[in-house]
Structure 1
Amino acid sequence: MRIKIRSIIPYLWFKFNTKQIILFIICLVIILIDIIININKWQNRFKYSNKNSKLLYLKTNELNFYNDPILSQRQFDIVLSYYSEDIDIVAQYIRYLKNISNIEKLNPRVIVYNKNSNINNQVLKLLLDADIIQLLPNLGREGGTYLYHIINNYHIIANHTLFSQAGVEGITDRGLADWYFDRLEKQFNSSVGYMPLVTNIMISNYDCDSHITGNFPRMSQLWAMLEQSLCPPGGQAVAFRGQFLVSSKRIQNRPLSVYKYIYDLITANSSHWLHRDLRSLIFKSTPDNPIFGHVVERIWTILFKCFKSDLHDRCRRRECACFDES
């Protein structure tokens, strides 16, 4: 049966009264205005970012490879792995972290590892208001960065270290997302041994190395190496995305040799046998993005002994931490 368009219009008009139509039009106008405002904000931010991005790529040999030494232990370090993320958003993220009262009282030190040799380290340090900046080769994803920091500061590692990618999850225009803020402000204290800093949907249980989203056979081998036993069935909590907070006690509970071994694997050159591990037909493992890096992203809970299968439920109840023994 064919319906004529002319017969539909009167039907719609009578179906919705004049008040409803006016309200609908007003809502449309408000939505359009909101879209225009947000587009302007985005354009302004993009222009500002472009300006700072140009500064980052200043070519001065001495400054490009400027490195700060880490000489002492602190109460709280913020360690970021940076490549080419939006400099203004990263700077904003650092400000948000430092302004959390629970963190601010610990006088946090900001350490940025830059993995982009084209970027001027001195300018990057200035724009991010960082305390320490170091240049690293672009190897091993963020996991390689974190392991490098642990290995080179093992004996003077901060009481607590917040490890994060510069492309952070959990930031808004107004501040940290509610779940992120709550963990640092309400759930963190000096007894925390490990705390994942990702949304609850990124915390799930693996059956050793098997998961509905994909399998990582090397995980069960790492379990065996770390725990000196076969990986038991029943589920191990995994928090992926590479954002977490860990204590010096948890780090130093593992021997330095363990971190060195994993670091050598994650930063291996292209001829290493690990790059021949298959994840999918389209994924190519390379030194800057090794498939093993995705495995390491999923073993922090195991490495720092916070892998009980109730982790997701505890995070949902706002008890998202494993605690050190006093």
Structure 2
Amino acid sequence: MQSLTTWLLAATTAICTTHHLIFQVKQRYPFHYLLLHFATALILRLGKHTWLAVTRNQSPLPSWNDAKAYLRPWQWLYGASVITSLALAYRAMFDLPSGAALVMILALEWRPEAWLRGGLSLVHNRQLPELQSLLRGIILLCGLSAIYLKDYRLEMEGIKFSLLAFALTGIAKIAYFMAEQDWSRNKGSSDGIDGAEGIGEHDPIPGTLILLAGTVTGAIATVIDETGPRITFKPAIAPVYMTVSVIAGGIALERGGHLFQRMGNRHSHREHVVGFLDRTTPGRILTSTAVVHAVFGASILIGSTLNLDVWQYLGFLLASSATLTWTDLGFAVKKAQQEVANVRMEPLKATLAEQESLIEEPVASKDSNQPSDAPMLGTISTWFTATLFFAVLIIGPFLVIQQGVYNLSAVTPSFWDRSGTSARSSRALDLVIARYDESAEQVANDINALVMLPNLGPLNPNVIIYDKAENANTSTWANDLEDLLLPHIPLTVVVKPNIGREAEAYLGHIIDHWDDIADHTLFSQAAAHDIHALRRRLQDYFVPETGFLTLSYVGGFCSHCSGCKDLAGWGEQDGVLEDIYSMFNNGSYCQDLVLAYRGQFVVSRNRIRSNDIKAYQHLRNQLIDMNDDKHKMPYLDQNWMAGRRDRLDAPNFGFTIERMWGAIMQCSDQRIAKECPSLLAGLLGNRMPLGACQCLDMVDSDRPGLFSSM
């Protein structure tokens, strides 16, 4: 099998299986995979050279002194850039749940050396770049913007790490180009081909050292990653996926130098039809496109869809086209014609060579007159890999069109008909806020921003603040807050002891206002997380039919309560989540658990009162009663609690209640975790139908099909 195809298959498999392990199996430790992949690649590289040294009498790896004499500064920069780029890419894999943006950004073929030359020309010669170069730059930026802006699970950390990895990949390309030129000058070569071979896969020194340095870097990053309470990496949970990921990642790094694109001139002169792609700009663009198609297709096969949007795909193609010039296209066509002609001539060349050997050696063995099958097998292998490669290119757009177009009917849920649970309240909306030490100005700004929303303001919301500040003048703070609020906003400040965090305030409010709880209640901490994105979520999704709407991170999902974990390493002992779920869901079996975060959500009166008040009282007692099992061993002896002291004002059980608010309010549908945009994506205008982000209730005025067109 050809080297390019081997790398493509290995990289595709490694990306998909690693993404599946992180987000489906919940083994969310990207630097552990970085270490395992680098270590496997190093073992493969050393094993290959050991085998060649034994079987073909090739010289083993040179000494460290020889390696130091060989290496140049540009090669050091190349190695450092590749390793750092990979480390950031693996970290970005953790922060971009959809994965599509990361794959397209890092697989994108672009020409940083051209940008560098343009920048140097601008600095030294004070000469503006040509109009064509400026247009290509604008096209590239527009393509990159489309890839990010249309990612509906976009997170700021993912943007940061992926862009840094993208930039460092460009630096690595520049360093490789400069190292190639330096090698050519030292070898006395004018065309740079010898330099390319010396630096490429045929010279073991740079690649082996990079793999060794990458293994060390991965080990250091893993140690740093394990300093917190998230020491729960368990490869045995999904042994098949783990084994496939480790082997495929090692092969991809050993064969291509990177997981998302081949670095350097790593082609082989035996790779005729496929191998020439690495030597032309259009060919490298086709390779990057094949990576995107293969990864997306493989993710569908293993049920770990990367949620690729059609506009993202078009943005990727647009950014890729910014690299092309007419000269590149002409050279690629000429090169392709030459390579195809060479392949067709190979059988004839082999026959002529065999005849010449027979003439020169008339006395031969009895099998010498048998034609060799090697040329034919080589030709078959070449055309097979070429056919496979171009099949991936052709099938890819059809997969994007089929899977990337959002299916509106998939997120039109049935209404939760509990209108008879309780009568309507005299208040349409309460804003319930848990405060500790936030300033009056900060709280007032957040409240004013919410009340000014067009779908909240007309409801005349009533503000109730539970103040748990210690050693503070609450009356003075309340007066300052009232002065800063917009006129005619009803305000009530209730002083409470600092126990149980915000969960105790929420549960206490439900218990104390059981008979007069508002039609909808918005619960939030005083320092709301990302108030701008929170406002956009309310503006897009809050309607009279809202049953439960989370106002923070979405995406935490567990198919079963047993063994449920999340991004922060949280994971409850068996039985705890099942008990909570059963208590608030009429004894139902706990499955398809959607986690809530930040203690920010809107819930209807019907949802709250569909549970027995005793359930809320029991949960509150578990939270604040230090004699309860939730404050004793063995409950406190859990990995995610390492470094956290259980206190009355900060009970560890509060983290569990925070994640269970959706299940407590009978809203635990996996479509919310899979289809609702992230807060950042929503802020950027990615809006889905109402049913994608919340559970809906039936109200008296609803008619069948009311939201079928929304």
- The TM-score normalised by the length of structure 1 is 0.73
Tell whether 2:615 aligns with 1:258: yes
Distance 1:14 1:159 in 2: 64
Corresponding residue to 1:80 among 428, 433, 455: 433
Instruction: Map Cα deviations across residues 256-297 of structure 1 (whole Å, 9 max, x no partner).
Output: 11111111111113x433112223332221111111111111
In structure 1, distance between residues paired with 2:446 and 2:557 = 26
Distance 1:206 1:142, change over 3 A: farther
Tell me how far 1:121 sits from its aligned partner. Answer: 2.0
Which residue is equivalent to 2:581? Answer: 223
Map of 2:697 onto structure 1:
324
Secondary structure of 2:524's aligned partner: strand
Separation of aligned partners in 1, 2:607 and 2:438: 30
| Contact 1:114–1:133 (CA under 8 A) maintained in structure 2 | yes
Q: Summarize deviations over 1:100-151 as a string: whole Å, max 9, x none.
A: 1110000111111001242222222223336100011111111100000000
Equivalent AA in structure 2 for residue 258 of structure 1: A
1:239 aligns with 2:591: no
Residue 104 of structure 1 is matched in structure 2 by 457
Q: CA deviation at 1:196?
A: 0.4
SS in 1 for 2:594: strand
Whether 1:17 and 2:17 are equivalent positions in the alignment is no
> What does 1:130-141 correspond to in 2, within 5 Å?
131-141=491-501
What residue is the counterpart of 2:630 in the other structure? 274
CA offset at residue 205 of structure 1? Answer: 3.3
Counterpart code for 1:97: L
TM-aligned CA deviation for residue 15 of structure 1: 8.4
Distance change >3 Å, CA 289–CA 181, structure 1 → 2: same
8 Å Cα contact 2:581-2:590 kept in structure 1: no
Unaligned stretches of 5+ in structure 2?
1-68, 74-115, 128-424, 483-489, 678-687, 700-710
Q: % of aligned pairs identical? A: 28
Counterpart Cα distance in 2 of 1:17 and 1:295? 55
Secondary structure of 1:167 counterpart: coil
Q: Which residue of structure 2 aligns with residue 56 of structure 1? A: none
Runs of at least 4 residues off by over 6 Å: none
Counterpart of 1:67 in structure 2 is none
Specify whether residues 104 and 16 from structure 1 end up closer, same or farther in structure 2 by C-alpha distance, changes over 3 A only.
closer
Residue pair 1:87, 1:127 contacting (<8 A) in 2 also: yes
1:190 and 2:544 are equivalent in the alignment: yes
Contact 1:183-1:318 within 8 A present in 2 as well: no
Superposition map of 1:144-159 within 5 A: 144-159=504-519
Q: For residue 584 of structure 2, give the secondary structure of its aligned residue in structure 1.
A: helix
**Secondary structure class of the residue paired with 2:595:** strand
- What SS does the corresponding residue of 1:241 show, helix, strand or coil? coil
RMSD: 2.6
Alpha carbons 2:578, 2:590 under 8 Å: kept: no
After superposition, the C-alpha distances for 1:169-202 in whole angstroms (9 at most, x for unaligned) are 122xxxx22xx2233223111111110010335x
State the shift of 1:225 in Å.
Answer: 2.4
Q: Distance in 1 between matches of 2:590 and 2:520?
A: 30
Q: Which amino acid aligns with 1:19?
A: L
CA contact (8 A) 2:581 2:588 kept: yes
Helix, strand or coil at the partner of 2:456: helix
Of the structure 1 ranges 260-269 and 220-229, higher mean CA displacement relative to structure 2 is found in 220-229
- Whether the 8 Å contact between 1:206 and 1:238 is mirrored in structure 2 is no
Amino acid aligned to 1:90:
V
- How has the CA–CA distance of structure 1 residues 232 and 259 changed in structure 2, closer, same or farther, with 3 Å as cutoff? closer
Query: Matches of 2:557 and 2:440 in 1, distance apart?
Result: 31
Higher strand share: 1
Q: Report the Cα distance in structure 1 between the residues aligned to 2:650 and 2:500, rounded to whole angstroms.
A: 6
**Equivalent position of 2:144 in the other structure:** none
1:304 is aligned, of 665, 669, 688, to 665
1:248 alignment counterpart:
605
How many residue pairs get matched? 262
Q: Conserved in 2, the CA contact under 8 Å of 1:76 and 1:107?
A: yes
In structure 2, what is the Cα distance between the partners aligned to 1:74 and 1:298? 27
- The residue type equivalent to 1:207 in the other structure is H
Q: 2: CA distance between counterparts of 1:112 and 1:255?
A: 25
Measured after TM superposition, the shift of residue 16 of structure 1 is 4.6
Give the match for residue 45 of structure 1.
none
Query: What's the counterpart of residue 344 of structure 2?
Result: none
What is the letter of the counterpart of residue 435 of structure 2? Y
SS of residue matched to 2:549: strand
Secondary structure in structure 2 of the residue aligned to 1:239: coil
> Could you tell me how far apart the structure 2 residues matched to 1:227 and 1:190 are?
23
Structure 1 residues 15, 191: CA separation in 2 closer, same or farther (over 3 Å shift)? closer
> Unaligned 5+ residue runs, structure 1?
5-12, 24-71
Q: CA deviation at 1:228?
A: 4.5
What is the 5 A alignment of 1:112-131? 112-129=465-482, 131=491
Alignment-derived partner of residue 20 in structure 2: none
Greater fraction of residues in helix: 2
Q: Is the 8 A contact 1:117 1:135 kept in 2?
A: no
- Cα drift, residue 232 of structure 1: 4.1
